[in-house]
Amino acid sequence: MKKYIIQSIRLTLVLIVLLCIIYPMGIALAGKLSKGNGGGEKITKNGKVVGYALLGQSFTKPEYFWGRPSAVNYNAAGSAGSNKGPSNPDYLKEVAARIDTLLKYNPSLKRADIPADMVTASGSGLDPNISEQGAIIQIKRIAAYRKIDERKIAELVVKNTNGPLLGLFGPSTVNVLQLNLALDELK
């Protein structure tokens, strides 16, 4: 029995060193070597931090592109999805209200043209990107509010569209914050 207790203590000490010292230090080092040195890739405008590339923000003014809805009101401290299933009546009311809002501010839009990402929150509630189609359906509204030619805004969407990962995985996406910053620079 003494033999097993000594082996258990040794294993515990090895795992403590490995999981409480070496692994966290490795993760911290990987973070320091990444963009933003582990503090997130900051997006700046005129020397001021206006957001982070991988965190969504709320845009509600009609002259801006709107991002994906957030189940946590874009609070990074409480990253989470809504955990409501597609048959939950409360969830269906939320989605219906989001669809109604989109249709109200985009009168030329048809219900069938609304991509799912514009009315459903992501798993983290912090997704900074929308689908390319999600950006395209907003062009008419933004052009009307800003009194800018739709083609200029469409070109801006194309310039700010990121293709699938490695050209294979996932859809084309648009970072909403970066697109809105580029939109503000249009004359």
Looking at the fold, whether 14 and 72 belong to one and the same domain comes out as: no
Whether residues 87 and 161 fall in one domain: yes
Residues 26 and 47 in one domain: no
Q: Are residues 5 and 71 in the same domain?
A: no
Q: Range of 178's domain?
A: 41-185
Averaged over 95-118, what is the pLDDT? 92
Residues 17, 83 within the same domain: no
Q: Which H or E element spans position 152?
A: helix 150-159
- Residue 53 in this model has a pLDDT that exceeds 80: no
Report the C-alpha gap between 4 and 8 in whole angstroms: 6
Same domain, 142 and 85: yes
Q: Is the pTM of this model over 0.85?
A: no
pLDDT digits (tens, 9 = 90+) for 132-176: 999 999 999 999 999 999 999 999 999 999 888 887 888 889 999
